[in-house]
Amino acid sequence: MKKVELVNVSKSYDKKTDVITDINVTIEPGEFFVLVGPSGCGKSTMLRMIAGLEEITGGVLRIGGKEANHLPPSKRDISMVFQNYALYPHLNVEENIVFGLHVKKVSKHERKKRSDDVAAMLGLTPYLNRKPRELSGGQRQRVALARAIVNQAPICLMDEPLSNLDAKLRAHMRSEIRQIQRRLGITMIYVTHDQVEAMTMGDRIMILHDGKIQQIGKPIDIYNNPANPFVATFIGSPPMNIGDGNVDRKNSVVTVGDGAKIAVPARDHGLLKSERIIVGIRPEHLKPATKDTGTENKIDVKVVNVEVLGNETIFSFNMGGREWLAKWTGQWRIDVGDTIPIVMNYDSVCFFDAETEKIIKTPTDIENYVFGKEVLI
């Protein structure tokens, strides 16, 4: 296992404008590290820089403690799985898997042994004599993964490998890739634009936007404590609701959208330093108001759209010119046009600075119950 370090790494194609700026991160040995962000944010470019397929124009890349800026890809001790599989159509599955070993002049006996072991691990043994055109999308993805694993490189790079698969197969392959990574103990760097993949697969994730790091951390920590509104709306499905808040410092109240008022307790009066802030709240933290609910933090909203998903109900409404979403457990009989009373509790909201967009208040009532192993014994 090897760690990968990027120190002040940047990338420019015209020597004027950076497409990637000041990337500083250490990926630990054996870690499943996910790069996630919207299309065009620099994820694949960064992966290709680690692989040696793109030149690093600034900063230092270290692999296993050694500087690797000018090492050719063949000397970096890595394997890579591409988005389009990149299988050779004229070779069968076994020949595709061992192609890299053949180039490295590994003995025929050793090639056969490694191929059989990896094929058994990935359920490819019955397909070793088939050509890629005779395989399904999931099987082709397994072949590409097998070709990367068979090299026994301590670092594996993956560039959106599941984007060509259907939803059900993607979910299955997510689990399969994660189990293989754990079993082999390799360092894996995985690129995706899908925040669900990032949340479910990564030990840690890095969120990129416009070539800059927005936040690095464990998925659940980022979900609960987003660094800025971009992270808040990118991570989570449905995304966090964001709105402009007007501050009444005299009465310690923040008004959001169409008159929703959030009373700020005395302990947090110091957060209200300007007349405007950005308010965020997760859809699942918007609660239905009941007969026992007081008027504080309560607002009536008009339903614009409803989705009943069996185990939960999601409905949308307008808040200050933006579409907000509420997600409630169970099957609710809500129709478009209904007026629904909801509650925004202060302890469930995020506040972001209106100028810097940095988070100034994290939610404390997030309804997460984390039990230790002793509870299950």
In a domain, 234, yes or no: no
> Over the Cα atoms of the chain, what is R_g?
25
Full domain range(s) for residue 269: 240-361
Q: How far apart are CA 318 and CA 303, in angstroms?
A: 8
Q: What CATH code is carried by the domain that includes residue 256?
A: 2.40.50.140
Kindly report the average pLDDT of the chain as a whole number: 89
Q: What is the pLDDT of residue 377?
A: 47
Same domain for 291 and 192? no
Q: What is the pLDDT of residue 376?
A: 44
Region 186-215: mean pLDDT is: 94
Same domain for 210 and 261? no
Which of 190, 224, 258 delimits the end of a domain?
224
Considering only 7-11, 186-190, 324-328, 369-373, which range has the smallest mean pLDDT? 369-373
Nearest alpha carbon to residue 12 among 42, 43, 37, 44: 42
Q: What is the pLDDT of residue 293?
A: 66
Q: Is the pLDDT of residue 138 over 90?
A: no
Partners of residue 79 on adjacent β-strands: 156
The pLDDT confidence band at residue 291, using thresholds 50, 70 and 90, is confident
Q: Is the pLDDT of residue 369 over 70?
A: no
Q: How far apart are CA 31 and CA 206, in angstroms?
A: 13
Q: Which residues of 312-325 are buried (b: 16+ CB within 10 A; e: fewer)?
A: ebbbbbebbeeebb
Same domain for 257 and 217? no
The pLDDT tens digits for 160-186 are: 888 877 888 788 888 888 988 898 899
Burial class (CB in 10 A: 0-12, 13-18, 19+), 62: middle
Q: Is the pLDDT of residue 202 over 60?
A: yes
Same domain for 206 and 271? no
| End-to-end Cα distance, the chain | 33
Same domain for 159 and 244? no
Same domain for 257 and 327? yes
Q: How far apart are CA 284 and CA 143, in angstroms?
A: 40
Same domain for 139 and 193? yes
In a domain, 102, yes or no: yes
In a domain, 375, yes or no: no
The token duo for 170 is 């993607």
In a domain, 369, yes or no: no
In a domain, 32, yes or no: yes
Q: How many CA atoms lie within 13 A of 51 on its CB side?
A: 21
- Strands, sheet with 212-217, edge to edge from the N-terminal-most edge strand: 78-81, 155-159, 187-192, 32-36, 204-209, 212-217
Same domain for 202 and 324? no
Q: How far apart are CA 95 and CA 131, in angstroms?
A: 9
Q: What CATH code is carried by the domain that includes residue 20?
A: 3.40.50.300
DSSP symbol at 239 = P
Same domain for 248 and 103? no
Considering only 9-18, 46-55, 170-179, 240-249, which range has the smallest mean pLDDT? 170-179
Q: How many domains does the chain have?
A: 2
Nearest alpha carbon to residue 120 among 148, 144, 142, 91: 142
SS3 259: coil
In a domain, 372, yes or no: no
Helix (H) or strand (E) holding 206: strand 204-209
Same domain for 32 and 164? yes
In a domain, 261, yes or no: yes
Q: Is the pLDDT of residue 146 over 70?
A: yes
Q: What is the pTM of this model?
A: 0.88
The token duo for 224 is 């609960």
